[in-house]
Structure 1
């Protein structure tokens, strides 16, 4: 199954589908192709009646996912979609797939990777993991699921701190604020994930699907906000202010956003 993908590894372990972003040299940052393949992988897993749950993770031991690959574009992502990649489709399918999705956070979950972890039904982290946001630091923002749903997990004040200050948090700090469900020693991460996937395989799939739909119904108004925000973010990405963030990142310097503020 993994031969179908270039940026992913797709494996079925017992009744769990493992979707592994396989770009470890780039800290599992995603490009447009990665997003397209993730959508396809979730579609495959979602339609397989023998699959009880889905594990989303990154290859290696350094990173879960560190967001968008800044080398894959110059101010724009290199694919289709409002912002150059169909991020709204992927976010939607993580929410809509009728099976629990577990974020196996094996390292850095930063930027868009942190949004993925926020969207997953459950998150389990290695004690070596680091989580956080970088959006305003690099001229970007996820003004939908990444902000509003995050606030439901960790509270409004803490979510604003995460997005405004762009700090990095240890797995234990993330656990204490409600961003992850469980923290285990890195060497025990796979065993802990398997314990959860084995448990979910014993549960009624219809009951799990109904429970997920019910949980989602309470926060699904964020979907409209997110879709609207993507169009606003697209306009923002076209500005010199936003491009300064990408340029500064690639040039390894501090950005000077205010020279573009008029």
Structure 2
């Protein structure tokens, strides 16, 4: 999908939001932390989902991660606090749940393009999408105890 002439829909800090011939593409752009999300990332993705929902020319939304190492490694542990993930405003949040609900309620198909690791919250992110397309080197997993 990189050989197409994508048009930016809106500029964000943590994501790229682009359009091409009926496809809205949301790319998590935090490769230094394996595309882990923080509160701001989730807020941006929710906003992009809302815009895609209202765009008549969009028939499908593709969710992916920047680079070929990771789709998403879950929540950014560098900003994890006791009550959730700490945003720039200092307030702990678990707003990835709001993003997951937004994906499930979108009346257009959401396709996860998994191009590497999908771990923890990143694994859940692809599961709540309508369809997952995985690269041959994709790796899926959950954190927690191994039994």
TM range (shorter): 0.7 to 0.9
SS of equivalent residue, structure 1 residue 9: strand
Counterpart-to-counterpart distance in 1, 2:37 and 2:55: 25
Q: 1:88 & 1:74 partners in 2: Cα distance?
A: 16
Structure number with the higher strand fraction is: 2
Where is the helix percentage greater, Structure 1 or Structure 2? 1
1:99 and 2:108 matched? yes
Listed as ranges, the gaps of 5+ residues in structure 2 are 1-7
Q: In structure 1, what is the equivalent of residue 3 of structure 2?
A: none
C-alpha offsets along residues 33-71 of structure 1, whole Å, 9 cap, x if unaligned? 000001001011111010000000000010000000000
Structure 1, unpaired ranges of 5+? 138-163, 166-262
The corresponding residue for 1:70 is 77
Deviation per residue, 1:177-210 (Å, 9 max, x gap)? xxxxxxxxxxxxxxxxxxxxxxxxxxxxxxxxxx
Task: Tell me the CA shift for residue 14 of structure 1.
Answer: 1.0
Offset of residue 2 of structure 1: 6.0
Runs (4+) off by over 3 Å: none
Aligned partner of residue 71 in structure 1, secondary structure: helix
Counterpart pick for 2:28 among 21, 36, 60:
21
The equivalent position to 1:87 in structure 2, one of 93, 96, 109, is 96
| SS class of match (2:93) | coil
Q: Please give the residue correspondences for 1:54-203 in structure 2 after superposition, counting only pairs within 5 Å.
A: 54-75=61-82, 76-79=84-87, 84-134=93-143, 136-137=144-145, 164-165=146-147
- Number of residue pairs aligned between Structure 1 and Structure 2: 137
* Structure with greater Cα Rg: 1
RMSD: 1.9
CA contact (8 A) 1:2 1:8 kept: no
Change (3 A) 1:85 1:117: same
- Cα shift at 1:115: 0.2
